[in-house]
Amino acid sequence: MAEKPKVATTSMAGCFGCHMSILDIDERILKLIDLVDFDKSPIDDIKEFTGRCAVGLLEGGCCNDENVKTLKDFREHCDILIAVGDCATMGGIPALRNNMSVKECLDEAYSTDNRKGPAVHNPDNIIPNDPELPLLLDKVYPVQHVVKIDYFLPGCPAPADTIWQSLVALLTDEPVELPYELIKYD
């Protein structure tokens, strides 16, 4: 039997809701396992690519330097990249910070000056700066602003049927044609 095509997934500036939506295909997940193997993905906890993948599913927007590396890694290892969900396709909720500076965001979250960030006990006013932490970008970018994306599945989350139909179409060499009710932005 020929080797099954591989699928990789990742969640960047997202809420994992779109990954929940992947799992929301219910019993069809058994059919999916017949069709594909999962490579790098939080679903199987494989951290690095083990080889060439047919499809990469991208959840979340691009908000930091680690996301940029992830996107480039996915583009390099996947034949087809699919932006899944509104955060990936338009920035989504994280992009609400795009109209303020990174400093304003961090101050709001961590600073105790001017009684900002009241929920944080941070008497020394430290903004997290460990070199291990990814650096935030000036804005949250839709993934197509960073690497070439082949397909877009909007929705918050992208509906399970939308993900399922698109994946099956791609894996069986059929065109991805979504009916009216499967393109939704909410």
Partner 1 sequence: MSENVTLTIDGKDITGEKGQTIMDAALANDIYIPHLCHHPDLAPYGSCRVCTCLVNGRPQTACTFPISDGMEVENDTDTVNEMRKQIVEMLFVEGNHYCMFCEKSGNCELQALAYRFGVTTPRYPYQFPKREVDASHPNVWIDRDRCVLCARCIRASKDVDGKHAFDFAGRGPNRHISVDAADGIEHTPVDADDKAVQVCPVGSLMLKRQGYKIPIGQRKYDHEPIGTDIETGASKKQ
174-177, long-range: CB within 8 Å, 24+ apart, which pairs? 176/151
Tell me how far, at minimum, the Cβ of 86 lies from partner 1, in Å.
5
Please say which residue, 26 or 180, places its beta carbon nearer to partner 1: 180
Q: And the tokens for 166?
A: 């698109």
Q: Which listed residue (90, 146, 147, 167) binds partner 1 by CB under 8 A?
A: 90
Tell me how far, at minimum, the Cβ of 50 lies from partner 1, in Å.
30
Q: Which listed residue (46, 96, 120, 127) binds partner 1 by CB under 8 A?
A: 96
At CA 19, angle to CA 14 and CA 22, rounded to 5? 145
Q: How far apart are CA 71 and CA 133, in angstroms?
A: 17
Please say which residue, 124 or 186, places its beta carbon nearer to partner 1: 186
Residue 7: what are its φ and ψ, rounded to 5°? -120, 135
Q: Is 28 exposed, middle or buried (0-12, 13-18, 19+ CB in 10 A)?
A: middle
Q: Is 180 exposed, middle or buried (0-12, 13-18, 19+ CB in 10 A)?
A: exposed
Q: Which listed residue (144, 160, 165, 170) binds partner 1 by CB under 8 A?
A: 144
Q: How far apart are CA 129 and CA 108, in angstroms?
A: 16
Q: And the tokens for 2?
A: 């020929």
Q: Which stretch binds partner 1 (CB under 8 A): 37-45, 72-80, 124-132, 136-144?
A: 136-144
Please say which residue, 153 or 160, places its beta carbon nearer to partner 1: 153
101 near partner 1, judged by CB under 8 A:
no
Binding mask 145-174 for partner 1 (x = CB under 8 A): x-----xxxx-x------------------
84 near partner 1, judged by CB under 8 A:
no
Binding site for partner 1 (CB under 8 A): 83, 86, 89-93, 95-96, 98-99, 139, 142, 144-145, 151-154, 156, 178, 180-181, 183-186
